[in-house]
Amino acid sequence: MNTLLKSCRQKICKFCYWLLDTLNPLGIYDEANVQIGDVMWCIMPLSKEKLLQITVGHRIRPFVICEITPLGCIGYSCSSKSIKYTSKSILYCIHKEKYSINKTSYVDISKKYLIPFDNIQSYYFQLNNEDVNNILTKKFLEYQIQHEYGKGTILKKDNVYYLIYKIVESTLYAHEMVTKNKIKKNGLYKPFSIKGNIYYINLSSQIEINLKHDYEFIQTILPKQLHEIEKQKKKVFKEKSNQLPIPYLKYPIGSIFYESFSDHKFIYLYNRKGKSYGCYVNEDDEIELMIRKLDLEYAKQTYEICSDGELKDIMEGIVTNDENKRILHQLKQQLKS
């Protein structure tokens, strides 16, 4: 079945190639009807021998036209697959949403090709002035890449190690790697060995690498190791996000607030995530034993405070759930102190 599908695919590719060649006779494109910034479908400018080694469907690819000469166009090749930044490949990203194309395209601006007019098959789309200017001047590149800097690369500067974990267009993001004595209490760390020494990757750090400065290339870790680090990072952040925020006090526990226009009273208990929480007091001056979010914007603090005994009764009588158990426990500890 796979052999049949492969055969059908090759026949369809050959037909498409013949169709494009038929619909675009030789000589239809020249200096008069090709512009700088055009993205054109072109037969790759290779020798016949090399071209025959490439699958039929891949012999035609988009090229960004950056110069026009009497002999043909000068252009950069495009690919829908992002490859690592290396000394041989410097990529400029063209987002699919920006031009309503099917796939995001990456322009390899490290190598120019002379494309004979005969090789141009059809028009694809036109880049805007900003992208054309970025590609022609390469102003978006703030550095010259000396080594292979892909995800998982470890660099060193001023005796500090950095692990590159994300690349967005021409910007490299890294986690700082520190020794054990520089670990901070609130950081998220994963141990990693470099040349026999143990360092700790600060998973909560995000550092933009500016390669205008001198960085020493150390090594590139294995994809499996990078995957484990990413897996650990997701796990740690998930656990952290599931932790309840620690409550804090903006007012004394048991403070009574009064809202004059509604004639409501509130008993303040704690703050969490910038919100105040406590209990309502109903019209009969009875405390509703349920924790509610309090809107104290228009309420006035009466400077009356519930007694310790009243607060103890409130804590014990509140209808609670698992989320509030820890909070109430902490509040009770504060009452005892």
Q: Does the predicted model carry a pTM greater than 0.85?
A: no
- Token look-up 């920006």 returns 98
Task: Give the model's confidence band at 245: pLDDT under 50 very low, under 70 low, under 90 confident, else very high.
Answer: low
Report the range of poorest mean pLDDT among 8-22, 51-65, 272-286, 311-325: 8-22
pLDDT for the residue numbered 13: 56
pLDDT for the residue numbered 86: 44
pLDDT for the residue numbered 91: 73
pLDDT for the residue numbered 115: 94
- If you average pLDDT over residues 309-335, what whole number do you get? 72
Task: Give the model's confidence band at 9: pLDDT under 50 very low, under 70 low, under 90 confident, else very high.
Answer: low
The number of C-alpha atoms within 13 Å of 144 and in the hemisphere containing its C-beta is 2
Cα–Cα separations (whole angstroms), residue 312 to 213, 255, 266, 281, 331: 61, 14, 17, 16, 10
Task: Give the model's confidence band at 17: pLDDT under 50 very low, under 70 low, under 90 confident, else very high.
Answer: low
Q: CA 90 to CA 103: how far, in whole Å?
A: 19
Decide if pLDDT at 14 tops 70. Answer: no
Spatial contact of 156 and 162, defined as CB atoms under 8 Å apart: yes
pLDDT for the residue numbered 53: 86
List the structure tokens of 247. Answer: 């409550």
Mean pLDDT for all residues in the chain: 79
Decide if pLDDT at 83 tops 90. Answer: no
- Token look-up 């403070």 returns 255
Q: CA 139 to CA 336: how far, in whole Å?
A: 64
What's the pLDDT tens digit per position in 24-52? 555 478 888 899 999 999 999 998 888 88
Spatial contact of 176 and 207, defined as CB atoms under 8 Å apart: yes
| More confident call, 62 vs 225 | 62
What's the pLDDT tens digit per position in 101-130? 888 888 888 889 999 998 998 889 999 998
- Token look-up 């490290």 returns 110
Decide if pLDDT at 223 tops 80. Answer: no
- If you average pLDDT over residues 151-170, what whole number do you get? 84
pLDDT for the residue numbered 138: 73
pLDDT for the residue numbered 52: 87
**Cβ-based neighbour number of residue 114 at 10 Å:** 13
Decide if pLDDT at 146 tops 50. Answer: no
Task: Give the model's confidence band at 87: pLDDT under 50 very low, under 70 low, under 90 confident, else very high.
Answer: very low
